[in-house]
Copies of this chain bind each other. A is one copy, B any other.
């Protein structure tokens, strides 16, 4: 039986992943806010390194009340809007629905699970460079791998089916046996580079070219790894050097928080910094440099 998908937040991520599913023939319902009128008239356009495409007619909706119930709800919003999630998601759910949080950070599934008891929740991590460059217009620059993992999924078949659907749509998707591991692993990269590109107003290549910030990135990564270890997540210290090496090889890159900062949008400080700091602290480890970066970001958020 085909899955009916709902995409909440049709931006850089939702537009690309949802667009790829729709292009492959899946039934996908998109929630749009400001882009609704434009997409209803002109459809959804994706400029992608793996091939441009245009979907002239998509199932576009302006509120979630107008959407049909869905089997799988892909949440692709920035976490800065997560206080609105329960009311946005609730109209889309039937008794077996699965909600997949394609968002960065920690504690997301736990929070939503407390707000929507009994709902099946999974998480997803997108390793992708993608931006929204205009109304209903996505630019996919590089990468695209998607890692999904269960939080409290009682029907493992549906999660496998989602992974299969992504794979059939041309997405490099995979199932992680341990969502917490995957989330912490991504934080090892996100924590140094999101924050430092904002605080030092720069890009990853310049952070890597300077010995001081290269070393500081490594120190921040090790702190996140030790934080994860205290929470029972067995990340290895060698991951830090691997990620440094990978980042040195990357093209100059401004992570999503840097773009949010440049466009004076709220930054995802809460789930990328505060929740991990708090989680590690509860497990007895103080991520003190990460915490310093968090405070600098909060100052910038409030004062710039």
Contact = CB atoms under 8 A, between A and B. Distances in A.
A206 interface: yes
Interface residues of A, number: 23
A1 interface: no
Q: Is the interface of A mostly helix, strand, loop or mixed?
A: helix
A200 interface: yes
A295 interface: yes
Contacts of A298: 210, 212
A165 to B, nearest CB: 43
B210 A303 contact: yes
Interface string A210-236: 101101100100000000000000000
Interface in A280-304: 288-289, 292-296, 298-300, 302-303
Nearest to A297: B212
A101 interface: no
A302 B212 CA distance: 10
Contact of A292 (B292, B299, B303): B292
B303 A215 contact: no
Contacts of A27: none
Contact of A302 (B210, B295, B302, B303): B210
A202 B206 CA distance: 23
Given A210-B302, A289-B289, A302-B210, A295 B202 contact: no
Given A200-B300, A303-B202, A213 B289 contact: no
List the 6 closest A-B pairs by CB distance, nearest first.
Answer: A212-B295, A212-B298, A216-B295, A213-B299, A210-B299, A289-B292
Given A210-B302, A213-B296, A215-B295, 7 more contacts: A199-B199, A202-B303, A210-B299, A212-B296, A212-B302, A289-B289, A292-B292
